[in-house]
Chain A
Amino acid sequence: MKSIAFVFTRAPHGNSSGREGLDAALATAALCEQVSLFFIGDGVLQLSEHQQPEKVLARNYIATFGVLPLYDVEECYICADSLAERGLTPESPRVLPAEVLDSAALRARLSQADHILTF
């Protein structure tokens, strides 16, 4: 079975990258047991709690990240360096448990994936 990584690099609102990336990850998780998620750069903002996207006329897809464990997606990694650059701490409340890794460790994990999609 191939392992497939989804990399989230964009902020949650302002474009549909995160929402459509999550849709693709969920669809893939239904068929593949080895799906992992990586949150890098502005992508670390995807998992922040208490977002109110309806105020910018956008659908609230953020809560849907929380169902990933039900799809047996356990490997979720978030970049410590990106968090720090944005004034977030490793303990900042998030909608999905994600392992905090420095950028070198994160790259090492990512390099293990057979296929990588970026959103």
Chain B
Amino acid sequence: MHYTLLVTGPAYGTQQASSALLFARALLKAGHQLNSIFFYREGVLNGNQLTAPAGDEFDIVRAWQALQQQGVTLNICVAAALRRGVTDEQEATGLGLAAANLQPGFTLAGLGALAEAMLTSDRVVQF
């Protein structure tokens, strides 16, 4: 089956993102197709490269990046991200921001990307 995941919980503070990551890994292991994960609302914080968990804690930001290297597109809503201080180089330059902090592997995208993914998926699961 073709799945799309929508992640609306932050990298730390709730279990939404870690549940989504475990679910994504299980989907791939079971042979399902997971073309894209869309990060929206507080979910955009999963793409914040400056997230620095303690040495004995799970690093979910880099774990998402590893998932992207397995062929899963990680789309982050550009409007929701910019409001919450997550930006790539291009947006940072355009807006005159001091720095960029989007984790490599994530891509800023519009909400249309979520709509397109939903329309071509058998299942949409929100976390």
Contacts and interface: CB of A to CB of B under 8 A. Distances in A.
Interface of A: 1-2, 4, 16-17, 20, 23-24, 26-28, 30-32, 115-118
Interface in B107-127: 110-112, 114-116, 118-119, 121, 123-124, 126
B106 interface: no
Contact of A31 (B116, B121, B126): B116
A116 B111 CA distance: 16
Contacts of A4: 115, 118-119
B interface, over-half SS: helix
B6 A23 contact: no
What size tier do the contact residues of chain B reach? 10 to 19
Among A16, A31, A115, A117, chain B packs the most CB atoms within 10 A around the CB of A115
A111 to B, nearest CB: 15
12 contacts: A1-B119, A4-B118, A20-B41, A28-B111, A28-B115, A31-B115, A31-B119, A32-B115, A32-B119, A115-B121, A115-B123, A115-B124
A94 to B, nearest CB: 25
A65 to B, nearest CB: 16
Given A16-B41, A23-B79, A117-B124, A2 B118 contact: yes
Contacts of A2: 118-119, 121
A45 B65 CA distance: 39
Contact of B112 (A20, A31, A115): A31
For the complex of A and B, list the 8 residue pairs with the smallest distance between their C-beta atoms, beginning with the closest. Answer: A27-B111, A115-B124, A28-B115, A31-B115, A2-B119, A115-B118, A20-B41, A27-B112
A41 to B, nearest CB: 17
B40 interface: yes
B80 interface: yes
Contacts of B118: 2, 4, 28, 32, 115
Contacts of A16: 41
B120 to A, nearest CB: 8
A20 B119 contact: no
A26 B17 CA distance: 25
A25 B61 CA distance: 27
Contacts of B114: 24, 27-28
Nearest to B83: A16
